[in-house]
């Protein structure tokens, strides 16, 4: 399975955005009968991670909350 990370934050380095994605992955696949990660995870730091899944990859968008 391929993992794609899109860092759309204005304040995070790519390495920092990977830390947030790791937190979502650590929570495990809890949706769609254990097939998907949490669709949207908000962090107290003002960062939001959106997760989507297709047949060959999981995509994570790391963004600043509005």
User: Which residue, among 9, 19, 1, 4, has the nearest Cα to 55 in the 3D structure?
Assistant: 1
Two tokens, residue 60 = 């994570």
**What element of type H or E holds 14?**
helix 14-27
Distance CA 6, CA 62 (A): 6
| Residue 1 confidence (pLDDT) | 79
pLDDT in tens, the chain (66 residues): 799 999 999 999 999 999 999 999 999 999 999 999 999 999 999 999 999 999 899 999 999 997
| Residue 66 confidence (pLDDT) | 77
């Amino acid at each position: 399975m391929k993992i794609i990370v899109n860092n759309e934050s204005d304040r995070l380095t790519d390495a920092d955005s990977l830390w947030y994605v790791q937190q979502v992955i650590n929570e495990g696949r809890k949706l769609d009968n254990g097939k998907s990660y949490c669709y949207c995870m908000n962090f107290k730091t003002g960062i939001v991670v959106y997760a989507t899944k297709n047949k060959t990859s999981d995509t994570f968008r790391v963004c600043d909350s509005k």
